[in-house]
Structure 1
Amino acid sequence: MGGGVTAIEQTEAVRPKGTRLPRRARRNQLLGAAQEVFVAQGYHAAAMDDIAERAGVSKPVLYQHFPGKLDLYLALLDQHCESLIQAVRNALASTTDNKQRVRATMDAYFAYVEDDGGAFRLVFESDLTNEPAVRERVDKVTNDCAEAICEVIAEDTGLSRDESMLLASGLGGLAQVVARAWLHSDRTVPRDQAVQLLTSLAWRGIAGFPLHGSDAGQQQGGEQQR
């Protein structure tokens, strides 16, 4: 997606051919190459030959680290699902001002889809969602992000966990779908403006629920301080 030099190209430019890499470094190199191929071609069209060639290694070297294409794909999913979950948790922990929390969380989703590596496509636009192991990971990232948002809603509003989880799932789903729509619209609206628009929409909804221990009248009068 980006026009710059990739990390793999930088690595290959400075590393003499045939140099042995430490196992962890080699694994990261292979994951980087696989991500580029999967994002560009999709799972079904991608071949292990393509990934090995992109990484500049032989197929036996690739198979030493990953027994098959699905293993490689799942390793990438694990990595990139966790990065979104952590980004949402960091956003929620970044402030105690709930309106700013909403904004930070929305922005975390926008940052995730805007990343030049295109990893979000593996998570949210995979052509392998009929594979149980892939579906499990996609469901987990959606659920874990909602769980993180749910904790804040339940603590602040006093709503039940089930009620808070429904609201959290709505906020997370809204952020993910709108962020992807924004990206596919060629980002004609600047990111900061898009995040602010979505924040305004989400905040007008969630701010209607009184803070724990306050009544609706107090909430309406002090909404800006929430």
Structure 2
Amino acid sequence: MTAIEQTEAVRPRGTRLPRRARRNQLLGAAQEVFVAQGYHAAAMDDIAERAGVSKPVLYQHFPGKLDLYLALLDQHCEALIQSVRSALASTSDNKQRVRATMDAYFAYVEDDGGAFRLVFESDLTNEPAVRERVDKVTNECAEAICDVIAEDTGLSRAESMLLASGLGGLAQVVARSWLHSDRSVPRDQAVQLLTSLAWRGIAGFPLHGIEQH
């Protein structure tokens, strides 16, 4: 019996689903297995068993384990990118933008499915296709933050991108550190602490030549 079978009940076999629904089911099962075991230890047998399908059915949708992993990365990288963009668009108040962006990272890592582990804690980062996706989510989140900084300050695009990369990296690393701690600091308080730190730095740059306070 696999570790997955020992911890959770196996889904029933034989249920016919539309192709899209089946694909989503397989992705959900694969996420559980990859998060629990990592890429290298995960087996297609475990994923098929978790989904309650035969291996041929699994291979009809995904030719191999890497294809399945990359499909999950595409899905979850895009989720974070959209979350950061939504946070930035949620208000015109820059301090609240910082808070909303920090909270987007905390919400992402706190999600019960553990998808952030596939993106930020993958054991397959030496694979070029995986590295490309991880770099994409980092860069596109930074680009979204950069757009706001460049628009609101007199800084160049290159300077704004450096600051944006710093803010995104800070949010990601601290959110993961908080998740792996005993979480004695509640999420809202942790977000507020990080927002205060980030805002004290970014607020020092002039807003179209006018000092922010």
Give the TM-score of the pair, scaled to structure 1. Answer: 0.88
Cα deviations across residues 10-42 of structure 1 (Å, max 9, x unaligned)? 999999742210000000000000000000000
Task: State the alpha-carbon separation in 1 of the partners of residues 181 and 7 from structure 2.
Answer: 32
- Structure 2 unmatched ranges of 5 or more: none
Indicate the larger mover: 47-56 or 11-20: 11-20
Task: State the alpha-carbon separation in 1 of the partners of residues 41 and 50 from structure 2.
Answer: 15
Contact 1:31 1:76 in 2 (8 A): yes
Of residues 150, 153, 172 in structure 2, which corresponds to 1:154?
Answer: 150
- Distance apart, 1:99 and its partner CA: 0.2
Cα deviations across residues 123-149 of structure 1 (Å, max 9, x unaligned)? 000000000000000000000000000
Indicate the larger mover: 15-24 or 39-48: 15-24
Of residues 34, 38, 42 in structure 2, which corresponds to 1:42?
Answer: 38
Contact 2:109 2:175 in 1 (8 A): yes
1:171 matched residue in structure 2:
167
- Distance apart, 1:188 and its partner CA: 1.6
From the superposition, tell whether residues 137 and 121 of structure 1 become closer, same or farther in structure 2 (CA, over 3 Å). Answer: same
Task: State the alpha-carbon separation in 2 of the partners of residues 12 and 124 from structure 1.
Answer: 25
In angstroms, what is the RMSD of aligned CA positions?
3.4
Cα deviations across residues 20-74 of structure 1 (Å, max 9, x unaligned)? 1000000000000000000000000000000000000000000000000000000
Task: State the alpha-carbon separation in 1 of the partners of residues 148 and 117 from structure 2.
Answer: 28
Cα deviations across residues 158-186 of structure 1 (Å, max 9, x unaligned)? 21000000000000000000000000003
The size of the alignment, in residue pairs, is: 212
SS in 2 for 1:225: coil
Contact 1:8 1:33 in 2 (8 A): no
Task: State the alpha-carbon separation in 2 of the partners of residues 162 and 181 from structure 1.
Answer: 28
1:25 matched residue in structure 2:
21
Contact 1:82 1:141 in 2 (8 A): yes
SS in 1 for 2:8: helix
- Distance apart, 1:225 and its partner CA: 6.8
Task: State the alpha-carbon separation in 2 of the partners of residues 174 and 186 from structure 1.
Answer: 20
From the superposition, tell whether residues 200 and 59 of structure 1 become closer, same or farther in structure 2 (CA, over 3 Å). Answer: same
- Structure 1 unmatched ranges of 5 or more: 214-223
SS in 1 for 2:9: helix
Point out 4+ residue stretches in structure 1 off by more than 6 angstroms: 5-16
- Map 1:77-226; keep pairs closer than 5 Å: 77-213=73-209
From the superposition, tell whether residues 12 and 30 of structure 1 become closer, same or farther in structure 2 (CA, over 3 Å). Answer: farther
Indicate the larger mover: 31-40 or 179-188: 179-188
Residue identity (%): 94
Task: State the alpha-carbon separation in 2 of the partners of residues 55 and 19 from structure 1.
Answer: 10
Task: State the alpha-carbon separation in 2 of the partners of residues 131 and 191 from structure 1.
Answer: 33
Task: State the alpha-carbon separation in 2 of the partners of residues 111 and 168 from structure 1.
Answer: 19
Task: State the alpha-carbon separation in 2 of the partners of residues 16 and 125 from structure 1.
Answer: 31
Task: State the alpha-carbon separation in 2 of the partners of residues 103 and 95 from structure 1.
Answer: 10
